Amino acid sequence: MAMATHGRRWLSAGLAAALAALPAAPEVRAAAPAKAKAGDELNAKISALAQEAQTRFETADYAGAIELWTQAYAALPNEPAYDKRRNVLAYQIAQACVEAYELDPQLVYLRKAERLFDNYLKTISAKDKNTTAKVQSTLDELREKIRVAEEREAADKQAAAEAAEARGEGGPGPHVAAQKASEAREAEARAVAEREAKRARRLTIAGGALTGAGAIVLGVMAYGLARGARVDRDGEAAKADGVTDPAVYRDLLDQGTAANTLAIATAVAGGVLVVTGIGLLGAGAAGQQRARRDLGLAPTWLRGGAGVVLQGRF
């Protein structure tokens, strides 16, 4: 789901290079010698912090990289002239948070990265569709990670609470946890049986429709066969009456050919429909039977101890 680690590191290195390449603020270049010297010292400090942070990032010391990039971010004046450099640093910090979570899965890392990426997305020019799409994709993946992590955290808390209850730490005893587990299994079995029954009903309906359609098509085939037989009788009758007009026999031949073509085509189509429909009806019937026969042995907790009950639906 997430970008490959080496891909993130390459991107971080590229952003670090971009950070170093960004020019100093115009006020510094245009300032008096004292201000220019202060600006040079600030640039040197930011570059040193950023380079050390990049080294920490590349050596998997993500917490150290976050700390150093944060120091560099805090050292930059909160002025429009420094916005680009601050945005690059914020992006770097977000990437380091994502990597830090892989080593130390604390949800706070992902939430911090989400906030930083979201803020960074707002700074991208509306004309830069490519970068916007890439950052939005990264943000979407990150939010999915947060959702999964939150669900896992909630499940862990629930499991811990049930375990504590089973040990008698504030609960009625181990039988409660066992009863809940049994109820959960039964509910899951019911859900599976209901899905199977719905699927079987759909198969039955589809099978009935196909079988009916096949029967209709086969009825057309019967008409074609009857029509062909009548044309044969008409031909024999014409011969017996001594008809010698070639046009009469050509017309009878055309009618017979059309009747035979109709019979053959509808026989194939009708046969396929009927066979398919019967197959679906059989599958649907088998599925409904399985759903009704949802029977099995399940462990349960009874008053005074554990046992086994026979449960099912008919």
Q: pLDDT digits over 47-77, tens only?
A: 999 999 999 999 999 999 999 999 999 999 9
Residues 63 and 115 in one domain: yes
One domain, residues 12 and 96: yes
- The pLDDT value recorded for residue 1 is 38
Instruction: Tell me the mean pLDDT in the region 267-276.
Output: 85
Q: Is residue 270 part of a domain?
A: yes
pLDDT at 98 over 60: yes
* Average per-residue pLDDT for the chain: 79
pLDDT band at 136 (very low <50, low <70, confident <90, very high): very high
Q: Do 145 and 248 sit in the same domain of this protein?
A: no
Inside any domain, residue 158? no
Across the range 258-266, mean pLDDT stands at 87
Is residue 236, in this structure, part of any structural domain at all? yes
Mean pLDDT of 151-178: 75
From 134, 152, 170, give the residue that closes a domain.
152
Q: Residue 313: its pLDDT value, please?
A: 41
Considering all CA atoms of the chain, what is the largest pairwise distance in Å, rounded to the nearest integer?
Answer: 128
Domain-ending residue, one of 152, 178, 212: 152
Domain total of the chain? 2
CB 93 within 8 A of CB 66: yes
Residue with tokens 């040990």: 167
- At 254, which amino acid appears? D
The SS3 call for residue 282 is helix
State whether 102 and 209 are in the same domain: no
What pLDDT shows up at residue 34?
Answer: 64
Residue 146: domain span: 5-152
Domain final residue, candidates 123, 152, 181: 152
Answer yes or no: do 135 and 260 share one domain.
no
Is pLDDT larger for residue 310 or for residue 140? Answer: 140
Strand partners, 306: 301
CA–CA separation, 227 vs 233, rounded Å?
10
Same domain, 148 and 201: no
Both 141 and 219 in a single domain?
Answer: no
142 and 215, same structural domain?
no
Query: How much is the pLDDT for 3?
Result: 42
For residue 300, what are the contacts with CB-CB under 8 A and spacing of at least 6? 179, 182, 306, 307, 308, 309
Q: Which amino acid is at 193?
A: A
